[in-house]
Structure 1
Amino acid sequence: MTQAQVGGWRAWSVWAAGTLAFIAAMFSRTSFGVAAIPAAEQFSAPVGAMSMFVIVQAGVYAAMQIPAGAVLDRLGSRNVLAIGLGVMTAGQVVLAFATSFPLGLVARVFIGGGDALIFSSAIRLILLWFPPRKIPVLTQVTAAAGQAGQWLSAVPLVMILSNWGWTTAFLTVAASCFVGLLIAVLVVRDAPPGLVVTSRGSGGLFAGVGEVLAMPAAQLAFFIHMLAASAPIAFTFLWGFPYLTQAQGLTDAQAGSLFTVFVIASMIVGPLTGMLTRRFAARRTFLALGIVGLSAVVWTSALVWPGYAPHWLLVLLLITIGADAPASNIAFDINRSHVPAHRIGTATGVTLVGGFSAGLVVVAAIGVLLSILGGPNPSADDFRVAMSAQLVVWVYAGIMVIRKRRQLLRSLPSADE
């Protein structure tokens, strides 16, 4: 592939279409998080049971990552984006009209499965359409742009839900996914003209999975993502809001404003992390370790602070958790440097499993600990103990990142990542 084959207006239009698809997916992914109380009324179920919708959706998302990557390497980004957005559209339509708890869960299975196909497809487009010097920053900008989908859930969707009800709200989400599908089909092309990277060998669909799992770079990327993505997932998907309101005594409005801090921090830190990754590519693993290390210090400080933590510390907590999300994207840059182009989809899927599986473990561990310690009404001290489950994942993942980096360096001719 020559330099003339990448970049230019065509590349930017393909990137924009892929990014819009990811924004629609994030809107779909986070839409249920603002609807727990209306959902309990819609499905005639306890509010506590609504966590099942989050766990099922995120579990399907994590379980689908490796199959999604294998499909991506076989079919290419355009087809996979269309499939993913189509499945999410169907899931949101079902959810809009569902009135039973089981049917609602089925809808979230479709939504999680379709969502699993989107981000890796968007990342693959960046890797194939742009020169290497632009890839780290564009990867971070794409991930940061996805926060616009979370904002769509937090503001416009809440307004629609309040004024026009459940069905209209989730049909709106379905419509956004369908618009993303149309744009992807019309605009996205898998690779620049003359470049063929889609694997169509005689092996089965999962023939490359074992190959990727054996790569030191893919193993390092897996644990970097586990290290950096687990806390944002556990905090924003389920336990952050209850922690801030029940353990820290904030009002719903105050907790919501802190989640806005998380979104803004992710959007600002993302491009900065991309530039630092490009500038210090040989030491990018240490950048991820440093960002997460700061989060661990702030997280621990908030947990051990006697009584309610001061507001400035909670703001700092949300800033550092927001910075963790861009740090997790360093994993994709490791893949970009060392994984063959025809295995990038599979490698991206393997990487995403790291963060989401660890995030689900933390979500479940916190829930179990709260149930054991506090039952239906956990205290602030119960939350302190339960939220410390994140520290265990950080320690384990940090040790594995250091070990896998050493293994990668031993496999390379130079001492650079």
Structure 2
Amino acid sequence: MDQLQNKSLQRKKWLMYLLLIAIFMLGFFERFAPAVFAADLMAEFQTSGSMLGTMTAMYFVTYTALQIPAGVLADRVGPREIVGIGAVIAGLGSLIFSFAPTYALVSIGRLLVGLGGATVFIGIMKFNAEWFAKERYGLISGITLLLGNLGAALSAGPLAVLLSYATWRNTFFLTGLIAITLGILIYVVVRNSPQEVGFNQTQAVSRKKNRNRWDKELRSVFAEKSVWPVLIASVGTNAVFYAFVGLWGVPLLTDSFQLTIREASLYTTAGLVGYGIASVVIGWCSDKAGVRKPFVVVSSVLACVGWLGLLIAPWQSGWSGFLLYTIVGVSAAQMVVSFAVVKEAVSPLVAGMALALVNAGVFLAVGGIQPLFGLIMDMMSDGAQVSGVSVYTFTHYQWGLGMMFFISAVGMIASMFVKETYCGREIEMEQKEVNEG
């Protein structure tokens, strides 16, 4: 490839990547935004903690259910179609959410946002595998999650400020319009591989025609034993963090320490920023070190430390609270290395399915943890209400935090059984031996 062709390829690649990142960031914003206006939702729709958790978890239910189909489509069709169409569906869901007059309809809107968003992460990870060198996969995955978490960070402190001037309905109406616009642009501009724009790139994953039945490939992914410890470890770091910062992290502070929503959202912002920065650092360090497992294990241990601290340490609003929220956020960056392990443990032809399986498991856990956290608090409370909204104390939240610590401890044990892939080099050597044999 001559220099002119290479420059043209790079421009096209980064333009497509930026479009995908834009919808990825918007998806993170929509995922975590309800935590900031949780009290408004409870008051407007007269819901209990468990009902609120169920409503917000509708996103994760559909997101989870569509992960494996999205992985199959990513491998068979490509990211352009699934992300473009998914973004439009998510945008329509946001519009319904913004206008919904009832609890049932607002839940349906949330469900559609999750349905459309289900394609985005798998699509962008598949795009990264096609367009970026495998030696930089950990780094580019880290950068991707960092940028995604900037969207999540906007759903905390900045959204709390915005809600001083606009309503949550106005906000989601605008995000719906943006998502639909991005979906159309992605469908028009993005291409699935360098070959589709007339280039050959030896670093990209081959998109040779795969004639195997997709169900046979999916069964092979489920049968891959190395995937399951990674999934369980990721639930213990990433799922518990997403469930907490996506709903209960802000109410815990407003109910227990009488912080304003704007003040409390700074703590979840700290966790999300820590998550984003750590994603780049852990991805880069893992690529440079040429190993994966130590980073998975250390992250799992860090998650246990953070949740145990939130549960039993004498922390308060202030630096100690910021520190603990940041610790659980940093530990969740394990996901970068987890996805790298999964990608390197399977054939490139089924990488989308394998990534989807792990992502589905994580978000299935999030969808269960959020309402279970609220249910536990409802069971432990005395039923007191103010203006139709349930009243919780820090003692009630501690029961939920205890559940978080238990899940992270199980994840830590699973991390000990994660297979070391040596950034894919061991797999390549095994394949070479098979071919030579």
TM-score, normalization: structure 2? 0.84
Quote the Cα distance in structure 2 between the aligned partners of 1:91 and 1:261.
28
CA distance in 2, matches of 1:230, 1:327: 11
* Structure-to-structure mapping, 1:8-157, within 5 angstroms: 8-40=10-42, 44-46=45-47, 48=49, 49-154=51-156, 157=159
Q: State the match for 2:434 in structure 1.
A: none
Name stretches of at least 5 consecutive residues in structure 2 with no aligned partner. 384-390, 431-437
String of CA shifts for 1:219-274, please: whole Å, max 9, x gaps: 34323322321221121122212322334554434322212211221222121111
Is 1:341–2:387 an aligned residue pair?
Answer: no
Equivalent of 2:360 in 353, 365, 368: 353
SS at 1:403's partner residue? coil
Supply the distance in 1 between the matched residues of 2:357 and 2:306 (Cα, whole angstroms): 29
Shift of 1:165: 3.9
State the AA in 1 paired with 2:369.
V
Unaligned stretches of 5+ residues in structure 1: none
Q: Does 1:383 align with 2:392?
A: no
Query: What SS does the corresponding residue of 1:189 show, helix, strand or coil?
Result: coil
The structure 1 residue matched to 2:376, chosen from 369, 373, 376, is 369
The one-letter code of the counterpart of 1:293 is: V
Q: 1:302 to 1:96 in 2, by over 3 A?
A: closer
Q: Which moved more, 1:153-162 or 1:319-328?
A: 153-162
Amino acid at match of 1:11: K
Checking the alignment, whether the CA contact within 8 Å between 2:62 and 2:114 is kept in structure 1 is: yes
Change (3 A) 1:164 1:311: closer
2:269 aligns with 260
Q: Distance in 1 between matches of 2:320 and 2:167?
A: 37
Query: Counterpart amino acid of 1:201?
Result: R
Flag the 1:342–1:226 CA change in 2: closer, same or farther, 3 A. Answer: same
1:294–1:202 Cα change, 3 Å: closer
Q: Cα–Cα, structure 1 residues 11 and 67, in superposed 2: closer, same or farther, change >3 Å?
A: same
Contact 2:86–2:118 (Cα < 8 Å) also in 1 = yes
Percent of aligned positions that are identical? 20
**CA–CA separation in structure 2 for the residues paired with 1:37 and 1:386:** 18
Give the AA of the match of 2:211: G
Q: Any residues of structure 2 matched to 1:169-318 within 5 Å, and which? A: 169-193=171-195, 194=200, 197=207, 201=211, 203-204=213-214, 206-248=215-257, 250-282=259-291, 284-306=292-314, 308-309=315-316, 311-318=318-325
- For the Cα contact (< 8 Å) 1:23–1:147, is it kept in 2? yes
Q: TM-score normalised to the size of structure 1?
A: 0.87
Deviation at 1:392, TM superposition (A): 1.8
C-alpha spacing 1:367/1:168, structure 2 compared with 1 (3 Å): closer
| Farther off after superposition, 136-145 or 63-72 | 63-72
CA–CA separation in structure 2 for the residues paired with 1:53 and 1:167: 16
Partner of 1:323 in structure 2?
A: 330
Tell me which amino acid in the other structure corresponds to 1:211: S
Deviates further, 368-377 or 4-13 = 4-13
Q: How many residues in Structure 1 have an aligned counterpart in Structure 2?
A: 408
Q: Is the Cα–Cα contact under 8 Å of residues 262 and 319 in structure 1 kept in the other structure?
A: yes
How far off its partner does 1:67 sit?
1.8
Q: Deviations over 1:84-122 (max 9, x none)?
A: 101101111222222122111111111111111101111
- Ranges of 4+ aligned residues in structure 1 off by more than 6 Å: 4-7, 406-409, 411-415
Structure 1 residues 383 and 28: CA distance shift in structure 2, 3 A = closer
Shift of residue 368, structure 1, vs aligned partner: 3.0
Cα distance change of structure 1 residues 155 and 394 upon mapping to structure 2, 3 Å threshold: closer
- Paired letter, 1:295: A
The amino acid that maps onto 1:55 is A
Alignment RMSD (CA, Å): 3.0
Equivalents in 2 of 1:168, 1:315: separation in Å? Answer: 30
Distance of 2:209 and 2:90 partners within structure 1 = 26
In the alignment, the residues of structure 2 paired with residue 63 and residue 167 of structure 1 have an alpha-carbon distance, to the nearest angstrom, of 26
In the other structure, the counterpart of 2:387 is none
In structure 1, distance between residues paired with 2:101 and 2:149: 29
